[in-house]
Each structure stands twice: as C-alpha cells, then as structure tokens.
Amino acid sequence: MSPVKHISERKLLGVAGLAWLFDAMDVGMLSFIIAALGADWKLDAAQMGWIGSVSSIGMAVGAFIFGLTADRIGRKNVLILTLLVFSIGAGLSALATGLTIFLILRFIIGMGLGGELPVASTLVSESVATEKRGRTVVLLESFWAGGWIIAALISYFIIPSFGWRIALLVGALPAFYAIYLRWNIHDSANYVAKTEKEKPTVLQNITTVWSKKYMRQTVMLWILWFCVVFSYYGMFLWLPNVVSLKGFSMVKSFGYVLIMTLAQLPGYFTAAWLIEKWGRKWVLIVYLLGTAVFAYFFGYASTLPMVLTSGILLSFFNLGAWGALYAYSPEQYPAVVRGTGTGMAAAFGRIGGIFGPLLVGYLLVQKVSIGAIFTIFCISIIIGILAVLFLGHETKNKELV
C-alpha cells in the first residue's frame, strides 16, 4: 500500500473519530445531566426517562432519513450536515429554561447524532483495505470511549461546581472544529463509481434492503440493533442514578461511573485485535455474552467492590460489542444501498433506545428492583446473541462491492 493511501486512511479515521468523540461526549454527559436536572427541576423518574427516550426518537428519525440521504448525495455531505444539526442543537440546549424546550432540542441533537454514526462507519468501512476494515471501524468506535471519558471528567469536575449548563456549552464547542476537518474528506472511490453507473430511488433502495436476497441479514441486523440499543441506553443513561440508588452520593456515583467508563477503551482495543482473527460474528457473540452476564451481576451488586467490578466488566464487553456491531453492519450490503441498509437497521435499533430509558423510569416509579430491571436487559442481549448465531453470516475478508 502506498504511503499516500496510508496517510489518507489515518486522516479519515482521525476526522471521523474526532466527530464520534464529540457525539459521545454529548451522550455521555446526558447521563450525568439527567441526574443534575432531576435535582434542579424537581423531575420524577418517569420525566427523567423521557429525556433519554426523546434523544433516541431523534436518533431513530435521523438514522433513517440521513441513512437514505447518504446513498443519494454522498456520505461526506451527510456527515457535514449531521454535525451542523448536532452542534447547533447542543449549544442551544444549554439555554433551555424548562423540560419541554429541553426535550425539543434533545430531539434535534438526536437527529444529528443518529444520522452521523451509521454514515461515518459506512464511509470508513468503504474507504480502507479489506484486511484491516473491521479493525479500523472498531478503532473508530473506540473514540466513543474517549468521548465518554471526557464527558465523565467534565461531569465530575464541572457539574457539581458550575452547573449542567456550563457542561453542555463545553461539550458543544469542540464539535465546530470537526466541521473544518470534514471539508478534507471524500467519498470512497468505490461508492462514487457505483453511483455514477446507477442511482436508484429511495423507494428502490428500501425495497432492495427487504428483497429476498438481503432479507436474512436485514432481519438479523434489525433484531440485533434493537436489542443492543434497548439495553445500552436503558443501562448506561441511568448508570449514575442507579449507582446513587445503590446508596452512594451523586458526586461519588459520578466518580465511580468514571472508573467504569475507563474500561470501555480496553473493550474496544481487544475487540479491534480479535475481529480480524475470530471474525465479526464470534466477536459479537462473545462480547454480547459477557455483557449479558455482567449486566445481571451489576443489577444485583450491593457492595462497592461488586458494583465497581461488575460495572467495569459490563463497560468492557458492551462497548467491545458496539465496535463489532458497527464493523459488521455496513458489510451486509452493496455500495448503492449500504447507507440505506445500515441506517434503517440503526433507526429500528433507536426505537429500542426510546423504550429502554422509559422502561427504567417507569419501573423505578413502580418500586421494581434494580436487579429485576437489569435482568430484562440481560434477556434482551441474549435475544440479540441468538439472532447473530442463527441468522448471521461471517463477513471477515469479504470484498465490498
């Protein structure tokens, strides 16, 4: 491989990864801000659950619309557009004076975030060499852990002293830098060549994704995305609150969640190393299985060592699985419908992200135990494992067309 190509791939990973990091900062800070807003605006658990769920509604809409759009106007243009939507919404949310306007802005932020993530992974997947495609996409996902770690640091040091509004402003500022960087990236040569020859309509692309040829992988992806997103947002958006409910103060819970969040990085890096050795399918299965096991143990943990140990291992396995999911999804479809197929699967998954946080909020109001709630997420992840096991095909070393 030529040095120019190598530098180009590294630059693409850095540019896409930096924006991924900023997005993760927003989602990560939201889990801490929900706890602060609950105290500031006197919200009950159900209202707090709606904050996370409205973000997921926006992500579902954004993933669907921008996924379809990416196959029409190109991945690069959609990445710039989604970042603008996300950045403006994030900045304005710091000025929100009540729950209603905050929810509207969270929907807008969610649209940008939901559109960006599957399109970014699609662009990177199409632009790197086959033998390191999976590893590169997982490394792209690892920027998410960096964003969560920064979010946890901001939340730990800024929210208790300066308030949640300042935290949101700090989180919104860096995103504008990525807009400048993104003017220097380009759509993959394969995508450009394919779409110059054929440019199906949006309806034709949707029909293709659900045609007999691709139905098996579409069903598998939709089940997998729903189960993973449902459990992730249900567990992680409530994590600081759950730790507080286990008897620790809000400030201490922020610190403990920061420790758990640090475990995301080795989760990504081990998945990135294994994905070109074991393949996508088995990395997904193993890491999802680890997620299910430690979700169960975290739910029933009562002592600090158990809370931290199970929380660290939950973060490790869950985020490694996310990396494999983003590597696996774009490889199911050809270039002309890749954005549509990946975006639609992500959009359906975000519906799970709507119900996950809401479910936790309503079950807490009904005095259901944390252990029982996390058992529900454990079962959800097992359903996702079975979908991959019985419906998934291995795509390691598959040439993308």
Tens-digit pLDDT string for the chain (401 aa): 433 344 477 888 888 888 788 888 888 888 778 878 888 898 887 788 788 788 888 989 999 999 999 998 888 889 888 888 888 888 899 899 889 999 999 999 999 988 988 888 888 888 888 888 888 988 888 888 888 888 878 887 888 888 888 888 887 777 777 677 667 778 887 788 777 777 788 899 999 999 999 999 999 999 999 999 999 988 887 777 787 777 776 556 667 777 887 888 899 889 989 998 999 999 999 999 999 999 999 999 888 888 889 989 999 999 899 989 999 999 999 988 999 999 999 999 989 988 888 888 889 889 899 999 999 999 999 999 999 999 999 988 787 77
222 falls within a domain: yes
194 falls within a domain: no
- What's phi and psi for 399, nearest 5 deg? -75, 125
CA atoms of 272 and 277, how far apart (whole Å): 9
Is 107 within 8 Å of 57 (Cβ atoms)?
A: yes
191 falls within a domain: no
400 falls within a domain: no
Is 109 within 8 Å of 86 (Cβ atoms)?
A: yes
CATH of the domain at 166: 1.20.1250.20
267 falls within a domain: yes
- pTM of the shown model: 0.84
396 falls within a domain: no
Q: Cα-Cα-Cα-Cα dihedral of 269, 272, 273, 277, to 10°? A: 160
294 falls within a domain: yes
189 falls within a domain: no
Residue 284: partners with Cβ closer than 8 Å, 6 or more residues away: 224, 321, 324, 325, 328, 385, 388, 392
Q: CB atoms < 10 A from the CB of 394, how many?
A: 13
Nearest partner of 321 among 274, 267, 382, 276, judged by Cα: 267
Range of the domain at 308: 3-182+199-391
The number of domains in the chain is: 1
Q: How far is CA 228 from the centre of its chain?
A: 10
